[in-house]
Amino acid sequence: MWFLKSQEEILNELNVDSKIGLSKDEAGKRLELYGMNKLKGKPKKSIFALFLSQLKDMLIYVLLGAAVITIAIGEYSDAIIILLVIALNAIIGVAQEFKAEKAVESLQKLTTPRSLVRRGGEVFEINSEEVVAGDIIILDAGRFIPADIRLTETANLQIEESALTGESVPSHKDASKIISDPKTSLGDKTNMAFMSTLVTYGRGEGVVVATGMETEIGKIAKILDDDTNEMTPLQKRLDELGRILGILAIGICVLIFVIALFQKRDIMEMLLTAISLAVAAIPEGLAAIVAIVLALGVTRMSKINAIVKKLPAVETLGSVNIICSDKTGTLTQNKMTVVKHYTHGLLSDVGQSATNLTGSQDENDLIKTLVLCSDATYENEQGTGDPTEIALIILGNKYNLTKDALNKAHKRVSEFPFDSDRKLMSTLNEDVDGYRVNTKGAIDNLLKICTGALVDGTVVPLTDQMKEDYLRVTEDMSDSALRVLGAAYKNTSSILEPDEMEKDLIIIGLVGMIDPPRLEVKDSIREAKNAGIIPIMITGDHKNTAVAIAKELEIADSLDQSITGAEIDNISDEDFANQIKNYRVFARVSPEHKVKIVRAFKSQGNIVSMTGDGVNDAPSLKYADIGVAMGITGTDVAKGASDMILTDDNFTTIVHAIEEGRNIYNNIKKAVIFLLSCNMGEVITIFISILLNWPVPLLATHLLWINLITDSLPAISLGVDPGDHDVMKQKPRNPRESFFARGAGVRAFSGGVLIGLLTLAAFYYGLWEHNYPLGEIITNMDSPQYAIALTYARTMAFVVLAASQLFYSLSMRSATKSIFQVGLFKNKYLIGAIITGLVLQLAVISVPTLAKAFQVQNLSLQDWGLVILFALVPLLVNETIKIFIRASEKSKNANS
């Protein structure tokens, strides 16, 4: 609480004289005691540790168990295939996680490399990492602050703190001020300077009170470092699915052994069968397919200027129902702009993109005075100095009253610099008949020193009524969240002392400026609201300013929907979480408040996105379900803490990304349900054959081939299905919604049962046509003829299973629309996957080497026709069911 203490108290506490500073020996001791002035990060995981972490999954445990058993019984080819599947999934996971978080490293880069310190009575430059508590730091314009400092001297000192506090305008610092409120926000601690902020004007001195991790920036680094990443909704769904399938696989294997004991089957044969069932129950390609679908989605999103750092973030964005957005630089342009000016009796608006404007004589005089009384520069679309003064120079450019031209015509000969007590600045410039004083500043202070007013080019006495008019316009502008500056002048024949400048002035008028909203944001917010998403503004700026912008953008309707950081501190966490739904604007908040806000929204079951660009946004970007950083104006810290970066800093891109995220989730769901239907078919085929005491229709290699090759291509193709344009007319998906909601589970089960029964039918037919009908006692099971018949029947089952799944994928594109309504050839990748799958299946059966490896053989032309007919049945049945679903929905809509 250094800001609560006087300079003398702090200097005594730190045992230092501000005129001399620390001795070099004392500085060395403190450096050894407290450590270097830099930010620390936690050690990163090694690649091997990352690889091992990928194996902590129920599905992987089951597959590892299957691999161990296959090795034990000598089935090495099966074991190699299973282990390759495990390795592939782990490598994909490591590749994603290796793009490690770089937030703390970015924070370290922000620290300034060199600092001016006073030690032993001498001022010299040192590496900022060597700065210690008690060092006296010298500050001047353009220099970064090396540590947290309690100011001891200030002269018109202004520090740009937008990256830390979110405020557009530099903060005026006053070393003599003693603050009494311990809950004062960062932006209002005017006697402090904070690490990695920038001096924009004036000069000052201060004593270092905190270094490294103890600074405000350091606290942010701790928050980032301490965070444990939560699982995204998609990860939770897949994890839940993995546990269910793993338990199911183990349960089925146990059941198989029980049945085997009753049927007195060969134990080794049952081990192989159990492994086949485990392989059948687990969609081995699921993790890889989901990763590939997400990666393809990431590629598509990069084309709309959204760079996704973490794959699951794509899906998370699609389920977002709260967007918490930083105001400065995200919703607004982070560029002060004059939008109104007033000369007596004439209020005018100034367009943001206006050029070559023509003003009245009074208006030109107003702009001339404001430009001449400014120290900032603006050239080639780049400004230096105070953002308020840059806005005034840009105003002059719009009226062709450029700073260079005015300075040449009216050379400055003296000035009375701004200070926070007067709230005024004056310059003395050469003029036609001598000299002219140009003054700008707070309108109420200005009116106190004015005796005249410029009205239609004529100087008239300043009456009380005129003062009321100026104050009324000022109040109206302030109510609209405009920052108001007044301008006055007087002519003189001689050079005046600064103290004489600000007397008996003539008021010309005033200007209102604001950090304006981004032009495209309003439409994006409206679209987001139509999609059931609530936009929230979070800012370090003042309440009235924030609410005015929020009203303009249609984020909030009234002041009642706003709350300040100080008010949040007076509410318990529980009450705040319960009341959070009533607020749309959070003003004067600190980084800790931002995290508290995000947590409160999350505690109410919301999926929260936080957008921002400053250092102060990093913790909340990290804690949100998905953090979105700005690519152009965003700091490295914000980018490091985020899940997604917008390369065009365009709020509209977030809305497009949400649409893409929703479609990607729908596509992943299609792929998952398709894979589960296929696996259900495989499980039913194996399980029923065991129950009926039939030979196993499919070998483990058949199942692995189908799961990894035949199923995977259509699943990936479903994952890149063209998006539904109506997806943004729907409410956000409930994050707790299961993959199996809205009839998806029924579709997966019914499709799987149908595929399984047809596969068994093909197997039965294959043996029957070779005179080995199942259900009858077969006496010559060891004969070559029976082995050939069994191989043929397994081939028929193998082809029906593979082909039926390929054709069935066409029906999975929509739960209600027919394959013709969604466009049979619209998803060219899916058509290509089906053709490729059929060709590969034909190759496995026809190519002798492959046929031998898979223990299959070619089929007769008649049987090819039969298996294709069988394979089309699930597609035709599902399309028929859709006709009844559409009719039912049409009937409901007609009745409602």
Separation of CA 211 from chain center = 30
Buried b (16+ CB within 10 A) or exposed e, 706-740: bbbbbbbbbbbbbbbbebbeebbeeebbebeeebb
How crowded is residue 853: how many other Cβ atoms within 10 Å of its Cβ? 13
- Amino acid in position 362: D
Q: Report the distance separating Cα 560 and Cα 572, nearest Å.
A: 19
DSSP SS3 for 377:
strand
Q: How many CB atoms lie within 10 A of CB 442?
A: 16
Helices and strands: H and E segment counts in the chain: 33, 26
Query: Which residues make beta-bridge pairs with 452?
Result: 461, 506
Which of 380, 299, 255, 286 shows the shortest CA–CA distance to 691? Answer: 255
Contacts 24+ apart (CB under 8 A), 238-242: 238/286, 238/287, 238/290, 239/57, 240/738, 241/286, 241/672, 241/739, 242/57, 242/58, 242/59
Catalytic site includes residue 643? no
- For residues 383 and 399, give the distance between their C-alpha atoms in angstroms, rounded to a whole number: 18
Q: Which residues pair with 416 in a beta bridge?
A: 426
Choose the catalytic residue: 135, 148, 326, 649.
Answer: 326
CA–CA gap between residue 218 and residue 615 (Å, rounded): 11
- The answer to whether 702 touches 305, Cβ cutoff 8 Å, is no
Q: Tokens 């792929």 appear where?
A: 671
Going by C-alpha positions, the residue among 61, 67, 56 that lies closest to residue 275 is 67
Alpha-carbon gap, residue 328 to 439, rounded angstroms: 29
Closest by CA to 696, choosing from 621, 752, 763, is 763
**Nearest one of 669, 665, 671 to 289, comparing CA atoms:** 671
Q: For CA atoms 394, 396, 402, 407, give the dihedral sign.
A: negative
CA 332 – CA 518 distance, rounded (Å): 5
DSSP string, 775-838: TS--S-TTSHHHHHHHHHHHHHHHHHHHHHHHHHHHHTT-SSS-TTTS-TTT-HHHHHHHHHHH
Report how far residue 172's alpha carbon sits from residue 157's, in angstroms, rounded to the nearest whole number. 6
Q: Which residues does the annotation mark as catalytic?
A: 326
